Structure 1
């Protein structure tokens, strides 16, 4: 059975009425396999407030055996002993990030072409994020939607590397992402703003899930 992972991304901007910790606890209990803290926006937490949030999320993830991943912030990743770091094309070299976080943490890299995928893998990426697959409102500076073409190309060229599709993925369109060769799907608002997270998560991953590492 094909390996599938459900990668949940959230920050304080992604829920108007609930705490990140509250949403995360419910998502963990419902079956997510990875969590990334992405704290962005004009009112994003900083300093000790961000450190406390990250520590709380790390503890919750640890209690479920789920990897806790920090978006972009190497210092925060190290400070809370996160399980991994995720970076984009504008966040410096993959090789430097690997040197900073060490050999044992997960390192994810967002890529938008076969060439970027090749370089990321050569420099130490453990998995690749590819998107936005569909139009998304969860990221203010998101690129235009690219569909699943790049996922197909990269999964064919590098079948050993897990690919996580991201961007506008919902219960209604997730199947085409799996069929393109993704081993994971990353979602933000589909879970954070869901009125029935257990059902949403069940519909997003219809096959057995697996925690790749």
Structure 2
């Protein structure tokens, strides 16, 4: 029979809260929606393990849920369990297979590509990929993979029947990030999540199990729904028209744009937001993030000075919970190891809607050797094939990528848009790149509003983030052209206030007339 791996419970009696028995907790978990149970007992003698397994088997049979035994093939055979889960240092799969009944389930823990490839050769039924998050449940023998590291392992399963669950630190507050981020570029997704302490250590295992199962089910349905939708056929004309429409939404809705941004450009960014018709709030205290997530239109995280990491982490997590757009600007990410590690931590913690950066920054994020970074700037001629670069990075990060420079490139992983507006004076003022991020966040807020007003979905959707990114870039670059051509602009000192003026005076018809767009399929 096909196995539903969506909510895979791994037991741990040492985690039970005071006053709760193992059997009571397990039954509440099963009632709440657990679909597979793995009994893990590391520090007990065989007789005690056998008794726990026997009780677990009876309860799982009552709820028609498969029972898996961790490590011990003898215990699995003794209680007629449905299968075993093996670690990398446990009994080899082929020996376990020879001892177990023909229809027994065998799963294996995997931490790297070599493990996954061996599991495929061994013809296992499923793999447990992890640890995905840091966890205190057990001492980690393998490095944390991170959400973004799961996709490459899932890609190895393409064309096989092997199922996959994520394990290690998975909780209700990071479940959506785990599910969305743990997907291969080809769209291969997890078949379930394995949970330990979130359920076992809870005083309300029924409620938390139900929440986890419902969240997984809703995400799975939403993913299928999005996959079934016909892709948007972008053209230069309908893209420009879409941007013009978003400008009207900004003016009528005045979205709140929460910005944790580069202290060098805070004032310019706030003024640019106001000029476009939105409202800025430059809040950094971690204590404010949950409340702000409920009212913001979009979140911009620009870590040019990397001084508010705690606020950035929480702001992104709460914005994800509210399904609000997040624009990430990894300023100077290639300059230091600290910045690279911080970017990885942020992107593993929350899902960005748009990642915006210059060639040096995005090259560092993609671990490309094709371009080099010099502080916050990129040096050299750039990418030989920028269209494919942004498309591939968008697929890997599962978001829109905006590559800024003399020519701007934007992709959602399917469509690539080439933009040729702008003026060299934009590169001669501090914070022009930061202001691009501000403008993108403002247009993404409008795209979010549009999507959730027109279709009224059952759960909030982010909207057309490709259009939001294109709109933000066009707004600043077209305003930059207009500012540079003013008679009162004589250099970078007079250019900045003129740029804010032109953002303020920018009209949809100007974008329709001036935008230089090429859509590449």
Confirm or deny a common fold (TM above 0.5): yes
Aligned match of 1:203: 211
Q: How does 1:115-134 map to 2 (within 5 A)?
A: 115-134=114-133
2: CA distance between counterparts of 1:194 and 1:124? 35
Q: Deviations over 1:119-153 (max 9, x none)?
A: 11211210000111001111124433211244211
CA contact (8 A) 1:4 1:183 kept: yes
Secondary structure of the corresponding residue to residue 95 of structure 1: helix
Higher RCO (CA-CA < 8 Å; seq separation 6+): 1
Secondary structure of the corresponding residue to residue 175 of structure 1: helix
Establish whether residue 172 from structure 1 lines up as the match of residue 173 from structure 2. yes
Aligned match of 1:183: 191
Secondary structure of the corresponding residue to residue 158 of structure 1: coil
1: CA distance between counterparts of 2:154 and 2:124? 14
Aligned match of 2:481: none
Q: 1:73 to 1:21 in 2, by over 3 A?
A: same
Using structure 2 for the length normalisation, give the TM-score: 0.38
Shift of 1:162: 1.2
Shift of 1:47: 2.9
Q: 1:156 to 1:141 in 2, by over 3 A?
A: closer
Secondary structure of the corresponding residue to residue 25 of structure 2: helix
Q: Deviations over 1:34-77 (max 9, x none)?
A: 0000012xxx3323222111100000001101000100001101
Secondary structure of the corresponding residue to residue 217 of structure 2: coil
Secondary structure of the corresponding residue to residue 77 of structure 2: helix
Aligned match of 2:163: 162
Using structure 1 for the length normalisation, give the TM-score: 0.89
Q: Deviations over 1:153-207 (max 9, x none)?
A: 1222214321110001110111122221211111111001123323322332324
Alpha-carbon RMSD: 1.9
* More helix by percentage: 2
Shift of 1:7: 0.5
* Further displaced range: 83-92 or 151-160: 151-160
Aligned match of 1:62: 61
Aligned match of 1:45: 44
Gaps of 5+ in 1: none
1: CA distance between counterparts of 2:208 and 2:199? 7
Aligned match of 1:101: 100
CA contact (8 A) 2:71 2:84 kept: yes
CA contact (8 A) 2:94 2:122 kept: yes
Establish whether residue 19 from structure 1 lines up as the match of residue 52 from structure 2. no
Q: 1:142 to 1:168 in 2, by over 3 A?
A: farther
1: CA distance between counterparts of 2:58 and 2:125? 23
1: CA distance between counterparts of 2:154 and 2:217? 20
Would you say how many aligned residue pairs link Structure 1 and Structure 2? Answer: 205
Task: Say which one has the larger Rg.
Answer: 2
